Amino acid sequence: MNYTDEKIAEIGENIIVALKTVYDPEIPVDIYELGLIYDVQISDEGKVKVIMTLTTPNCPVAESMPAEVRQTVSEVEDVVEVDLELTFEPSWNKDMMSEEARFELGMI
């Protein structure tokens, strides 16, 4: 089955809502607002590829967070498969945080 552009957009919005429920345990801000999600690609068939990073390569949740993200995205309605790619290029920095995240952390 191939999804329409509207359906893909809806799935994308639902994925963002789901990603905003995943938090970095060391920072009280969700991973989406932190800028840890670099890209979300959705195919016509509902296959999703998430490209993400961590705040540092030595992050204590380097094993568990990608698995949590994969599980969270896989639970979104109409997602049939999740491929998660962890990258450190470009390296994450505080400039990647949303204005909301910077406000939450008292940086603005």
Report d(CA 94, CA 107) in Å as an integer.
Answer: 10
| CATH number, position 31 | 3.30.300.130
One-letter amino acid for residue 58 of the chain: N
pTM for the model stands at 0.92
Would 74 be classed as within a structural domain?
yes
Among 73, 64, 72, smallest CA distance to 26 is for: 64
Strands 81-86 and 37-42: unpaired
Residue pointed to by tokens 């109409």: 78
Expressed as residue numbers, the domain containing 17 is: 5-93
pLDDT tens-digit series, residues 60-77:
888 899 999 999 999 999
Q: Write the CA distances from 32 to 1, 11, 17, 44, integer angstroms.
A: 29, 16, 9, 23
Total domains in the chain come to 1
pLDDT tens-digit series, residues 73-98:
999 999 999 999 999 999 999 999 99
**Whether residue 52 has pLDDT greater than 90:** yes
Would 101 be classed as within a structural domain?
no
